[in-house]
Amino acid sequence: MNRLSTLTNGLVKENPVLVSLLGICPVLAVSTQAANAIGMGLATTFVLLGANIAVALLRNVIPDKVRIPCYIVLVAGFVTLAQMVTEAYAYPLYLSLGIFLPLITTNCIILFRAEIFAKKNTVADSAIDALGMGAGFTLAMLAMASIREILGSGTWFGIPLPVLADDNISIFTMAPGGFVIFGILIAIVNKVSKGKAIKKKEFGCAGCPSAANCQKGGAA
Amino acid sequence: MKKEALAPIFVLSLICLFVTGVLSISDMVTRPVIDEASAIRAEEARKEIMPNAGEFMPIYAEGFPNTITEAFEAANNAGYIFIVTAKGYGGNIVIMCGIGPDGRIIKTMTLAEMETRGLSTPVFEMEGEYTGKDKSLEGIDAVTGATITSNAYMGAVRDAFAAFEIVRGMQ
């Protein structure tokens, strides 16, 4: 696999949010404002990058039996680091991410990439994979947050928009609106890719966009 | 067999130790910045309620409602500031309530809330109405559709008054 496709995989073909449907909890919760979505996306990308590099570096050292605890400790370390740095130097962002910042630890995208990619690939490839996945996550969050903020609050990045600001549809800022927009986005992705993104008939290993990577190293 | 069992323990412990080390270093770097910034924020918030109060001293008394998280007395007798954490609809509502020596509210201010956007917004927009009210809170109405939030806010202000009475009773 060449490096460009490793990078672009995360953007479209294996988009963690809209195709793999991973990390949905922060996506639904933090996507009420476009600015927060960018912040959450960057924080997650940072952790993803750190975790992927660390796991790839230690891939020959970590015994298979304790690999998940090892990954979690590494991920938690990066998350705590991100938390300290945002609290010290980007306090408004720290406030708006709230509980979802420490919860990046349990974001399944990170564990998924560690398990499926970083533990079988070189440090450089893993870093590229993390950047692609992080960008895909950030873009999906931004798309969702933009729709929700524009319709729900009548603003975009906090800037009031004409007409919409007077008649905002506040359900889009709440959880049900989040689910509706999320469902519509997945439907659009599936329609545009003519059903290739999520193959209905092939649920299971063969239909998974990550199948090639997953089976490369043999079943764990 | 024995070696197989020991290696994972050894590696995992080593990773844990290393991560702990890195984090304690980064904590040493960021802790002073965080503490300083939060002290400045707290001071600024108190100044916003009582701009001419000068220094504030933390106070505490037995019998404070347990919703009172912090209380301050202005050094020049300009009044008291209570930080109250009340249970709202979506989580905790943290307000700061300044009460003057005459028993009237100087100003109330919301520090944190997680209430439903839109529906609850009027509760926080009408904060100014509390200014000048005494403990009866006469004329303050709940906001339609946001009763729980309104009552939580009002309850927080009442708790501030309860603490105020205790402080006054001691002097």
Taking residue B84's Cβ as centre, other Cβ atoms within 10 Å add up to 27
pLDDT, tens digit (0-9, with 9 covering 90-100), for B6-47: 888 889 999 999 999 999 999 999 999 988 988 888 888 888
CA separation for the pair B104, B98 (Å, rounded): 9
CA separation for the pair A99, B8 (Å, rounded): 32
Per the listing, tokens 């889009």 go with: A172
On the question of pLDDT at B95 being above 50, the answer is yes
Does A148 map to a domain? yes
Type of residue numbered B108: T
CA separation for the pair A87, A149 (Å, rounded): 25
Cβ of A84 within 8 Å of Cβ of B116? The answer is no
What is the average per-residue pLDDT within B95-110?
A: 90
Comparing A175-184, A203-212, B39-48, B113-122, which segment has the lowest mean pLDDT? A203-212
Type of residue numbered A155: T
What is the average per-residue pLDDT within A59-85?
A: 91
What is the pTM assigned to this prediction?
0.74
With pLDDT > 70 as the criterion, what percentage of chain B qualifies?
A: 98
On the question of pLDDT at A141 being above 90, the answer is yes
Burial B108-142 (b: 16+ CB within 10 A, else e): bbebebebbbbbbeebbeeeeebeebebeeeeeee
Type of residue numbered A218: G
Query: How sure is the predictor about A200, in pLDDT bands with cuts at 50, 70 and 90?
Result: low
Q: What is the pLDDT of residue A183?
A: 93
A interface toward B at CB cutoff 8 Å? 32, 58, 61-63, 65-66, 69-70, 73-74, 76-77, 80-81, 84-85, 87-89, 91, 152-153, 168, 170, 173-174
CA separation for the pair A36, A42 (Å, rounded): 10
Within 8 A of A32 by CB-CB distance, chain B residues are 117
On the question of pLDDT at A218 being above 50, the answer is no
Does A7 map to a domain? no
Does A4 map to a domain? no
Half-sphere exposure of A101 (CA within 13 A, CB side): 23
The domain of A56 spans 23-218
Does A38 map to a domain? yes
DSSP element (H, E) containing B17: helix B2-49
CA separation for the pair A161, A99 (Å, rounded): 29
Does A8 map to a domain? no
Q: What is the pLDDT of residue A176?
A: 92
On the question of pLDDT at A199 being above 60, the answer is no
Q: What is the pLDDT of residue A219?
A: 44
Does A75 map to a domain? yes
Does A54 map to a domain? yes
Comparing A130-144, A177-191, B17-31, B37-51, which segment has the lowest mean pLDDT? B37-51
The domain tally of chain A equals 1
Cβ of A66 within 8 Å of Cβ of B30? The answer is no
Mutation pick from A53, A62, A73, A119 vs chain B, by most beta carbons of B within 10 Å, is A73
Task: Tell me the CA distances in angstroms from A60 to A67, A73, A118, B15, B136, one per residue in order.
Answer: 11, 17, 11, 14, 70
Within 8 A of B7 by CB-CB distance, chain A residues are 63
Looking at chain A, list the stretches that DSSP marks H as alpha helix, in order from N- to C-terminal side.
3-9, 24-30, 34-57, 67-89, 91-97, 108-116, 123-152, 175-192, 211-216
3-state secondary structure of B32: helix
Alpha-carbon distance A61 to nearest alpha carbon in chain B (angstroms): 8
The complex's ipTM works out to 0.74
Give the closest of B7, B12, B116 to A174, CB-based: B116
What is the average per-residue pLDDT within A87-113?
A: 86
Type of residue numbered B3: K
Bridge partners, residue A34, by sequence: none
On the question of pLDDT at A67 being above 80, the answer is yes
* Per-residue tokens: A90: 């980007």
Comparing A109-118, A190-199, B81-90, B93-102, which segment has the lowest mean pLDDT? A190-199
Task: Tell me the CA distances in angstroms from A118 to A57, A110, B38, B164, one per residue in order.
Answer: 9, 10, 39, 59
* Per-residue tokens: B130: 């509390």
The per-residue pLDDT of chain A, averaged, comes to 85
Query: How sure is the predictor about A108, in pLDDT bands with cuts at 50, 70 and 90?
Result: confident
Cβ of A87 within 8 Å of Cβ of B15? The answer is no
CA separation for the pair A29, A2 (Å, rounded): 35
Give the closest of B8, B34, B37 to A63, CB-based: B8
Give the closest of B11, B12, B23 to A77, CB-based: B23
Mutation pick from B10, B12, B29, B110 vs chain A, by most beta carbons of A within 10 Å, is B12
Supply angle C-alpha A85, A25, A10, rounded to 5: 80
pLDDT, tens digit (0-9, with 9 covering 90-100), for B129-155: 888 888 888 888 888 888 999 999 999
Does A113 map to a domain? yes
